Amino acid sequence: MNFAVLQFPASNCDQDAVHALRNVFGHSARLLWHKETSLGDVDAVLIPGGFSYGDYLRTGAIARFSPVMQAVQTFAANGGLVLGICNGFQILCEAGLLPGALIRNRSLQFRCEHVFVKTVTKDSPFTGQVPDGKLMRIPIAHGEGCYFADEETISRLKSNNQILWQYVNDKGEATEVANPNGSVQNIAGICNERRNVAGLMPHPERACEPLLGSADGRLIFESFLNYLQNKNVAKAA
Ligand SMILES: NC(=O)CC[C@H](N)C(=O)O
């Protein structure tokens, strides 16, 4: 499988994403500078975490104007798989590829810790391989991770089953205490209506090897890798 991992000025999780894709899962991953206008021949795009453009104005608000984002828009419009992690999620919301916005954490503190995340639905390319009831322990590191959307958007997300992940406690309950940033409905990640674009604040690429304290993030990678493999098999048949 061929992945493009985007690089903006001040991306800082790009190498972690490439490491996971190449060395943990054995796929090909190419770094793509944000000035590029074409994605080339790729199966999926990963927008990594970081502080693109120093998070000026509002995080992701400048990166969304980078030339590469036009190519991402076209790729997504054609059904291509796009995953945004942390700053990548923020950029996807700013670009209008995902609804809502990521705003300052309610605590006004930068939060850097491991959290528990529950997968709300297996009905997406990003969650299909997560076992029922599995609580994933994954790190977060953000200052603007509070997902916000108006009530109408939230009810649409719910009725379309677009909420993919929620912050929970170690019993799997979506409580206020378990929510590290004050996001609406404890939302940690969502997908678009078509289900080919997703974003989440936690960092699964930093939780793919036991050496890093958790390997639960693998389940997200395994989900979209499995989806892409089936898609390629179907195409070849
Ligand atoms: N690790 C990240 O991608 C998070 C950085 C992010 N721009 C923030 O909200 O602080």
Question: Which of 6, 12, 51, 200 has most ligand 1 atoms within 8 Å of CB, for mutation?
Answer: 51
Q: For 208-230, what is the mean pLDDT?
A: 97
Distance between start and end Cα atoms, the chain: 17
Give the pLDDT of residue 136. 98
Asked if 48 and 205 count as a contact pair (C-beta separation under 8 A), the reply is yes
Mean pLDDT score of the chain: 97
Q: Is residue 70 predicted with pLDDT exceeding 90?
A: yes
Asked if residue 235 has pLDDT above 90, the reply is no
Catalytic annotation present for 86:
yes
The pLDDT score that the predictor gives to residue 33 is 98
- The closest-lying atom of ligand 1 relative to the alpha carbon of residue 90 is 7
Q: Whose CA is nearest to atom 7 of ligand 1?
A: 51
d(CA 194, CA 27): 25
Percent share of the chain, pLDDT over 70: 100
Pick the catalytic residue from 34, 144, 146, 203.
203
Provide the domain count of the chain: 1
Q: What is the interface pTM, i.e. ipTM, of the complex? A: 0.93
CATH code: domain of residue 68:
3.40.50.880
pLDDT reported for residue 233 = 85
Active site residue 13: no
Q: What is the mean pLDDT of residues 149-178?
A: 98
Calculate how far, in angstroms, residue 88's C-alpha sits from the geometric centre of ligand 1. Answer: 9
pLDDT reading at 72 higher than 90: yes
What is the token pair recorded at 108?
């006004």
Domain residue limits at 191: 2-236
Backbone angles phi and psi of 154, in degrees to 5: -65, -40
Note the pLDDT tens digit of each residue in 113-123. 999 999 999 99
Question: Which numbered atom of ligand 1 lies nearest the CA of 51?
Answer: 7
Q: Please say if 176 is a catalytic residue.
A: no
Which H or E run includes 15?
Answer: helix 14-19
Nearest CA to ligand 1 atom 8: 142
